[in-house]
Structure 1
Amino acid sequence: MTNKTKKRTSKHFDRRFKKQLLHPKHWGTWLVVGLLFIFGLMPAWLRDPIARALSWIVLKIAKKPLHVAKVNISHCFPDKSSEQVEELLRDNVDNFVIALLSQAELAIRSNAHIKRRVQLHGFEHVQAAREAGQPIIFIMPHVWPIDYAGLRLNIEIPMVTMAKAHKNELFNWFSNRLRSSQGGRVYMREAGIRSLISELKQDNSFFYLPDEDLGREQSVFAPFLGTEKATLPVVGRLAQAGNAQVLPVSIGYDQAKQHFNLTVLPAVDPDSMKGKENEALALNKIVEQVILAYPEQYMWFLRLLRTRRNPDEDIYQ
């Protein structure tokens, strides 16, 4: 293997099982993973009520994340009363625990089961892009069921993804085994934009999450719900370099019907993303649209408004 090949392969997460994962320091994590597998085998009618019952633990102990979520919701929905903010927060925690306890089913259940659990709508937009010979950059913000969206689409078309490494080696192995269970590669964040462009040129599609706050440098401030947000305008250049179409995607869990609704929306007009300011505005509008479809299922715990126009402002203090 050449040095060049080593450099390339090192950008992927190693999904192979290693003996050091059996070290006693990981036994507590193995217990958690084992429980997740048990929950993954449970039917939703049994698992969901357990998840809702356990959500009160998160509400009791997750003080810092809950504070961040309250700040985000209050800024994004300034017209909401404190009672409405609390109600949205409780629903959000319910959906977090439901998604967490059910996640292992993506790794251990059949594709037929995943297709039943994730109802796919708007696939004609994917087919149109594929018939045009183009890969796809799916736009989706951080939502609790995002892995369901990625793996459901990966059943239909070749895809890769990019993820941040867990500090815990075992969770790292578990989450990346899950995300690559349909054959897609999982890149480390350090792999960078060039790796994604290379994948597009090899006809592999991927999800791009434009809502994360990546700091002031190269970001553009644009309106976002009831506030404004620093957004990195890079999707337009990615799509152009990889000859890709950009398709927004929304997903939400229907607790009554016990399945996910995954909707692929029409392709974004490339002209709407010409220029950094226009692209930031277009991306924020897409994120708004996806969040408002299922506001109780967005990851409000992220510090998505950390970078403010006034560098001395810290809304999370």
Structure 2
Amino acid sequence: MRNGAIVWKATVAKKTSSLDKHFTHFLAPKHWLTWCAMGIAYLLSFLPWSLQQSVGKYLGRFLHAIAKRRRHICDVNLKICYPDLTKSERKKLTKDHFESMGKGTIETFASWFQDQKKYQHRITFEGQEVIDKVLAKGRGCILISGHFSSLDICGSQMPRFLDVHPIYKLQKNQVMNWVMERQRQAIFSKTIERTNMREVLKSLKQNKAVWYAVDQDYGRKNSVFAPFYGRQCATIAHIGRIANMTNAPVVLYDYGRTEKGYHLRLVEVENYPTQDDVENATRINELMQAVIEPKKAQYFWSHRRFKTQPIAGDPSPYNK
């Protein structure tokens, strides 16, 4: 902010999507291994839910055994965020995290390849009155959430309750993009690539919900530094800026896996935003901490949340 005005321009460029390409575009030999993986993913999606959870658990244990770099990232994050944990407690939480991520992988396959009505009976939802209240204002709403292992399966259920337009990041793997974009297009009335700010503003103007996952490090250019578990980290500044620009209400989307399925919860964020980017980012991080605590193992601890340092040039905590 400068002199009370928003010093920010909406990005309108759109990265290349796979939606206009036929699958034959991706039949070159370099893509065959990914297609084989997609075939296995498709078959696994047909497993009964309880068996999906068991397979996912053992998949997570396998990944824990072989993914040395991700284990290291997870351990560093836990040291930063929970300095009072003993080494054995950190090891257990890391193992639980990988098991949860393994379950989430199988759940992602189910969200891509199965009819989502199949999982409706496993969903509990809290917040219909929140939806009614915020959309009655006619300015749409900005849905914010963290990254948890049940992201895809829980996200695929949200259109039952709210016409939500999720923001997504294109992946490096072209085949995965082709599958992911088409499957999400079948679930959501609209998806928005994260650089396409024009479509974000358009959706809000149409009184729709735009969904951002706000807890990852997208680099210095798009961020401000605010505390997360007591440590300064790069936090996206877009949410407060968009809310200030559009007067769209901001709603916290909390979700997670339970013993019998999944729970989705919406809560309006009161007294937000302010006119200060750092204050807004600090509030966002406080909200993320609050939803992480009841389900620590389900959070994306194996992502480099603290990779961008407040002082350019300082070493990353993940460097060995």
Q: TM-score, normalised by structure 1?
A: 0.88
8 A Cα contact 2:128 2:161, kept in partner: no
Q: Residue 62 of structure 1 aligns with which residue?
A: 67
Shift of 1:18: 2.6
8 A Cα contact 1:118 1:148, kept in partner: no
8 A Cα contact 2:107 2:153, kept in partner: no
Q: Residue 156 of structure 1 aligns with which residue?
A: 161
Shift of 1:118: 2.8
Cα deviation, 1:232-280, whole Å, max 9, x if unaligned, reads 32212212333321111111112x32x111111233322x533112102
Shift of 1:178: 2.5
Specify whether residues 16 and 150 from structure 1 end up closer, same or farther in structure 2 by C-alpha distance, changes over 3 A only: farther
2:185 corresponds to 1:180: yes
The code of the aligned residue for 2:64 comes to L
For residues 1-317 of structure 1, the aligned pairs below 5 Å read: 13-14=18-19, 17-191=22-196, 193-217=197-221, 219-254=223-258, 256-257=259-260, 259-270=261-272, 272-311=273-312, 312-317=314-319
Aligned CA RMSD, in angstroms, stands at 2.3
Query: What secondary structure sits across from 2:170 in the alignment?
Result: coil
Identity %: 25
The code of the aligned residue for 2:205 comes to K
Shift of 1:13: 4.7
Cα deviation, 1:37-89, whole Å, max 9, x if unaligned, reads 22211111122112222222211211111111110111011111111111111
Query: What secondary structure sits across from 2:189 in the alignment?
Result: coil
Distance 2:205 2:157 in 1: 22
Distance 1:101 1:227 in 2: 33
Q: TM-score, normalised by structure 2?
A: 0.87
Specify whether residues 266 and 316 from structure 1 end up closer, same or farther in structure 2 by C-alpha distance, changes over 3 A only: same
The code of the aligned residue for 1:169 comes to Q
- Greater helix share, structure number: 1
- Unpaired runs of 5+ residues, structure 1, are 1-6
Query: What secondary structure sits across from 1:107 in the alignment?
Result: helix
8 A Cα contact 1:115 1:152, kept in partner: yes
- Unpaired runs of 5+ residues, structure 2, are 1-11
Shift of 1:12: 5.2
Give the count of matched residue pairs.
Answer: 307
Cα deviation, 1:148-190, whole Å, max 9, x if unaligned, reads 3332222333222232222222111111122222233333333
8 A Cα contact 1:166 1:172, kept in partner: yes
The code of the aligned residue for 1:70 comes to D
8 A Cα contact 2:251 2:267, kept in partner: yes
Distance 1:182 1:95 in 2: 24
8 A Cα contact 1:13 1:187, kept in partner: no
Deviates more, 1:65-74 or 1:216-225: 216-225
Distance 2:241 2:278 in 1: 13
Distance 1:115 1:15 in 2: 31
8 A Cα contact 1:125 1:267, kept in partner: no
8 A Cα contact 1:15 1:173, kept in partner: no
Distance 2:116 2:73 in 1: 36
Query: What secondary structure sits across from 2:65 in the alignment?
Result: helix
Distance 2:317 2:49 in 1: 38
Q: Residue 4 of structure 1 aligns with which residue?
A: none
Query: What secondary structure sits across from 2:263 in the alignment?
Result: strand
Distance 2:276 2:179 in 1: 40
Distance 2:220 2:25 in 1: 40
Displacement over 6 Å in runs of 4+: 7-11
